Amino acid sequence: MSQTEPDAWRAQVRQWLATVLEPVRMPDAADLAVFHNLPEDEECLLLERCRSYQRARFDAGYQALTLPADKGGPGLTAAHVAAFAEEESAFEVPPSTELISVTVRLVAMAVSLFGTAEQRHDYARRFLRTDLLACQLFSEPGAGSDLAALRTRARQVDGGEWVIDGQKVWTSGAQFADYGLLLARTDPDVVKQAGITAFLVPMDAPGVEVRPIRQMSGGASFNEVFLSGVRVPDRLRIGRPGQGWEVATTTLAFERTASGSGNRRKGGTFTDVLALARSLGRTSDPLVRQRLADLYVRAALRTATVDRVARTSAAGGRPGPEASLTKLMASDLLTRTGQVAAELMGARISADTGEPGTFAWTQHLLGAPGYRLAGGTDQIQRNLIGERVLKLPPEPRADRAPFSELPGN
């Protein structure tokens, strides 16, 4: 694939997509859910559809386009990623689940960038192709936004194995994952960011227990994961001991980029809200028109910002704080979209009357608040933007002592 001939490359992409996918057709009804809410058997079927497409994409050389050649990728630019997404949007791509996205866009990239040559060969390639699926074992009950305060411990024993004890929460797709990219504290006697190490943990290892979390929308795609005396060989350590925070921040930057950009549908869109307003005969109301115009402008600004960030990073490199901006705009747009839809429907949204495109909006409204937390809370994104983009003074910190000396430890 030549970087010097983008038009020819686009033509290749379009031709290949036509061999594996059908052109976009108008759906019978829009999927307004932000997060998946499927029974386990249907989720398994969807996973297999997604994996079939991801394998075909990998085999054709279109997976992880920006991954450097020395890490196993084609070494293309973010502009190529944007071009591929644009061409792909014209085809019926299987809706990607959270687990597929975490496996391909986050865990595979982390192993590719920080893993050894053996780990890249044994795991990164299989994650990129979705031959193996991986979840992300980062968040904890007492360490959500402040991820560096995690308390899951890993201690090395004779023979080099690590023994892990702790609890993780809000883990998407853990019940289907083969591995989990886990952060654990390996040195409590240094500042909290410095004493963390990353591991690949087999999800079927003795001592790993997955418990589903039932959401208010009815689904259970998130899980708690308990780790009790889980033994992991040192060959599954990702990066150096103590390098886990760097692995985490790089992975989270990829997550924010994935959350804030791309053509993957999450919940309702401006087009859906406009169709709703028309079906209810509300488009002549001046207040409704004002709300629709505001929503349209915000959607257009987000699209333009995603494009600008992609073009700025076309020279390569890891995602920076700009990813926080696109993620923040995405979560804000989801919330506002649901609010406008709810205002249009009033009481119609609270009961299923059989009217098309009305009660389905509850899936959006119940899921949108969670998107403010996924990939880093809105408050964390604002801090990153303020400190790293606007160069504002950082917030006062009272946790610069070694982790073991902090209150509660």
Catalytic residues: 255
Alpha helices in 346-395 (DSSP H): 361-371, 378-384
Q: How far apart are CA 319 and CA 330, in angstroms?
A: 16
Which residue, among 159, 141, 163, has the nearest Cα to 150 in the 3D structure? 141
Please, are residues 294 and 62 in contact by the beta-carbon 8 Å criterion?
A: no
Residue 331 to residue 360: CA distance in whole angstroms:
19
Backbone φ and ψ of 178, nearest 5°:
-85, -35
Contacts of 61-70 with CB under 8 Å at 24 or more apart are 61/1, 62/13, 62/16, 63/104, 63/128, 63/129, 64/104, 64/108, 64/109, 64/112, 64/128, 66/316, 67/109, 67/112, 68/316
Residue 304: both structure tokens together? 């333009």
Match 């929308």 to its residue by tokens.
217
Query: Which residues have C-beta within 8 Å of that of residue 96, sequence separation ≥ 6?
Result: 50, 264
State the DSSP code for 209: E
